[in-house]
């Protein structure tokens, strides 16, 4: 069922409870999952991290590859997540965050079609007075953190683009049958361009904490065999 997000409301959702499980149904056909730069280090051992380019805006988004086949996810098996690291995108569900109409406050939304929602089982979102439960307070804190991380990730990507480090690459993968397949439209940090940067530019990347994320991204490419279809 398609996700349908609505603003979280203590009147409309006063009786709603959330099961403490991962929302996987929504992501079964996502062959890429967005990541924030703060996830690069722990995620690098679980799946390859690349950059996808929005053809309309020209902006780059770091993503985890979960499959080389569109509308499939190699890491969801029998309704379970099989990799060690769980992306924040999965952990935040069934909630979503974004700026309100004034662009001054953070608005929390909830997927009313989520299988995690119930009036019979799970953890309540609001108490009898309509106040947030400790569970919801913790989730709101996590959602706010993810929102902040996304803003920092935009700055990280802008820094890479400013130094012309993100370059289109062709990914060559050895299939389980021994045949090779090429995948285009993938952007990665160009190591040669990285090494050719001036000392000043490298110091800038270091001071911004970008170098560790860059090398985590490059190291993660060794996990490409994990997304080869069975």
Report how far residue 141's alpha carbon sits from residue 146's, in angstroms, rounded to the nearest whole number.
9
- How do the domains of the chain map onto residue ranges? 5-227
pLDDT the model gives residue 104:
64
Say what the pLDDT of residue 227 is.
84
Helix (H, G, I), strand (E, B) or coil at 66: coil
Closest CA to 205 of 221, 222, 187, 189: 189
Q: How big is the CA angle at 46 (ends 221 and 39), to the nearest 5 degrees?
A: 90
Q: What is the pLDDT of residue 11?
A: 93
pLDDT at residue 75, rounded to an integer: 94
pLDDT tens-digit profile, the chain (230 residues):
677 888 999 999 999 999 989 988 889 999 999 999 999 999 999 999 999 998 888 899 999 999 988 889 999 998 899 999 999 999 999 998 876 665 667 788 999 989 999 999 999 999 999 999 999 999 999 998 999 999 999 999 999 999 999 999 887 776 666 666 677 778 999 999 999 999 999 999 999 999 999 999 999 999 988 887 54
Of the CA atoms within 13 Å of residue 89, those in its CB half-sphere come to 18
**Chain centroid to CA 51:** 12
Per-residue model confidence (pLDDT) at position 229: 58
Helices 134-162 and 210-220, packing angle to 10 deg: 90
Q: What is the pLDDT of residue 211?
A: 95
């Amino acid at each position: 069922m398609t996700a349908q997000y609505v603003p979280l409301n203590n009147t409309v959702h006063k009786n709603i409870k959330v099961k403490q499980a991962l929302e996987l149904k929504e992501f079964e056909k996502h062959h890429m999952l967005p990541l924030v730069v703060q996830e690069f280090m722990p995620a690098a051992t679980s799946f390859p991290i690349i950059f996808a380019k929005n053809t309309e805006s020209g902006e780059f988004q770091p993503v985890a590859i979960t499959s080389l086949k569109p509308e499939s996810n190699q890491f969801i098996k029998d309704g379970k997540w099989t990799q060690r690291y769980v992306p924040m995108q999965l952990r935040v569900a069934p909630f979503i965050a974004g700026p309100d109409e004034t662009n001054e406050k953070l608005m929390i939304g909830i997927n009313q079609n989520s299988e995690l929602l119930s009036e019979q089982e799970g953890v309540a979102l609001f108490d009898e007075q309509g106040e947030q439960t400790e569970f919801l307070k913790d989730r709101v804190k996590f959602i706010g953190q993810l929102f902040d991380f996304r803003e920092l990730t935009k700055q990280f990507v802008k820094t890479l683009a400013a130094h012309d480090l993100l370059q289109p690459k062709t990914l060559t993968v050895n299939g389980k049958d021994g045949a090779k397949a090429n995948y285009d439209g993938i952007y990665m940090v160009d190591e040669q361009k990285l090494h050719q940067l001036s000392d000043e530019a490298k110091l800038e990347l270091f001071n911004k904490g970008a170098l560790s994320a860059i090398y985590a991204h490059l190291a993660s490419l060794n996990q490409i065999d994990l997304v080869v279809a069975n």
